[in-house]
Structure 1
Amino acid sequence: MSDPIYLDYNATTPIAPEVLDAMLPWLRGEFGNPSSTHPFGRRAAGAVATARRQVAELIGAQAHEIVFTGCATEANNLALLGTARAFGVARRHLVVSAVEHPAVMAPALHLRDQGWALTILPVDRFGRLSPDQLADALRPDTALVSVMHANNEVGTLQPIGEISRMTRERGILLHTDAAQSAGKLPLDVDELGVDLLTLAGHKFYAPKGVGALYVRAGTPIRSVMHGAEQEHGLRPGTENVAAIVGLGAAAALAKASLPAASAHLRTLRDRLHEHLAAAVPGLRLNGHSDHRLPNTLHVSFPGVSGRALLGDAAEVVAASVGSACHSEHDAVSGVLAAMGADAVQAAGAVRLSVGRMTTPEEVRRAAEGLVAAWQRLRPQ
């Protein structure tokens, strides 16, 4: 039996063929340690330097501002805990949004346990933060604001540019988790006005187990691990050269394909929505209709459980009800709860995310499979 149609690209992506080709030499004959001074090490160091430049070019940064990490979770922890260590007791107030990924919310709560003041800002029914509410939350002792660029569940984009104007005026650092938006939308750290930005390789066709943190030159930050001086002293440990090369290749691929790739994803997403809305009366879009990721369709099917729907359609469609990090639980999504979704809306929610490999034919067949499952499950 063939695999179902994959519509879970927000959870993870396959490694692009171009990325795999770039990685293979570093999984076969090239094995040097980038810190070694002999030819094996120098070649490895050169490959890491190339990847650093490629990642920097994707987001409009300088190569020396890129720190490679083992994943986006590590990058987020370094952003929050590393800046907290740098500030010491000078400033001890942190602001985050209510819809942050656990990789940001958990270290934020840890800092609160360590005596930091933490403000968790609400979002509106579209999952969007109010810049005015943020302005009211900022204090003289605010050290850092961390607001995700795009939500991993509903796809809503946050007004990072507006937020950065307020933080810069007050000398407050701004971090954004761009794990979901990298490769799907053009990113420029200067236009966004951020001091720190997180990337996740496996969200844009690089392998799992590699990420990066952009650290604007001059940003106060200290390592949260102890060891040698790799990655500008911020991330000790021998670099995973093959994965880093893959991240660089994926960044180059993304840069070369944007913004055409965004338009293609948006067309597929909207076509999927049109198919479903035409056949499912009462289908409800969750998240912002305009300010959202081009590939993400988060909808609630009336009268059924989203988990039951995907279970019934499992032979046709592979998707999720929310974040892959906690999608096995039946509790209402924290994101939907923060958006004020009622129990019926939350119960019927499904996240459908298309990718580079998705075809119009797959969109049509997936829609038919989901509609058929809804018709079987809905109350008669």
Structure 2
Amino acid sequence: MAWSEKLKLKKGLVLSVTQAGYHGPKEVQQRTMARIVGGQDVIVVGPEGCGKSTTAILAALNKFNYTPDGIPKVLYLVPDKESVDRVIEQISQLNNNKSISVVGLFAAPGIEAQMDAMADGADIVVATPDRARAIYLKLGLDVNKIELLVLDDADLIVKQGLQLPVAELANSIPKCQHLVFTEVVHDRLNKMIAPFMKQPATIEIEEIGEPLFETHPQVLYHVPNFGTKVNLLNLFMQDDELFTKVAVFVNTRPTAEKLYKTLQNRKTGVALLNSWFFELNSFDSIHDFKEATDFQVLIVVNDAGKKLDLDDIPFLIHFELPEEKDIYIERMINHSPEVEDEIMAITFATDLELTQVKKIEQAVGTRIPLGELPEDLIIEKERKAPTAEEKKAAAAKADENAPGAAFHEKKASNAKTYNYRAGLKAKMSNKRKH
């Protein structure tokens, strides 16, 4: 399908996009461009590779005629420096209007060069939220004429913990259109964008495709935080008649140690694979764990270099998803589909891990069913970062508890506001003796 007038893109932009090899719009552009050009706030949810970034760049370039004035009209926020470079490169590929000035802002030694680039003129600013905020506070970023605020890979912006600078920048812009592009939508993301999105349209792009291979039965438990994950694991392990043998996968040694200490008080045995401490129960191989009748749980730290023989372990629990999705996928493949499958794969995921879940689903070609949380599961409260006022109050309290803080100010009559000479001090001492 060729680019049609229904998408309402400027003719010069359609020409440059076609010359760049984009001979027709993808589904995401067909479903969103008319709304975007019409000025509506839009949330686009879709998997990696569906065309979200291209849609965002087309929306940005479509804001310009051939006479840009060098004052930022588009603020395009991304999670990291690599994304800044990628977006700027794609803008240069899709843009024939070389009078449009594009400036990238990201964390780097010194800030003066980026301040100078902004002073020379910027029509589109592609930035990480923290650096954009820093330059805004230094009066180097003028937001008064911004017409379009784009959040690309918004789920990763949340994962980086950049919600505060995004909120401050969005609140500082007098009036503009907002576009959010993300692989997943969850509570943390909604909390970040809700204050500034105005009756947005949500467009979801589904590109799961056909299943690529047989997998073990899977179930996903979506939980709010790490503490709730621990509670859920403990709750499952109470049923030792069902969970006879369990492999629990984590990403770091500290997490493995925490789970070991949490579970070791149980009657059933808990061990680590290749423990790094002599005093902790350990197995050198998965085979030894399978053969041990008095051990129920084996905690395994994810390692991309190791392929594990997980056959005959009834439950594989991913307490944390590995950074490389291929590690997870390799464990899920059922290499003997003709045999009745007795292995169940269980995954715990917080909001910040849902992006990785989506990547796995897209790669495997099937959705992971969502499990219902047990009624007796204890949901831990979120631990909020202390505010500036709370930090100040805590510092003041610490000062009060510091050594010597219990001493009170001297009375005015006892306060030493003078300094006698040594001879005079000696005479006064002699008088006290008589």
- What range describes the TM-score normalised by the shorter chain of this pair? 0.3 to 0.5
TM (norm. structure 1) is 0.35
- The structure carrying a bigger helix percent of its residues is 1
- Larger relative CO (CA 8 A, sep 6+): 1 or 2? 1
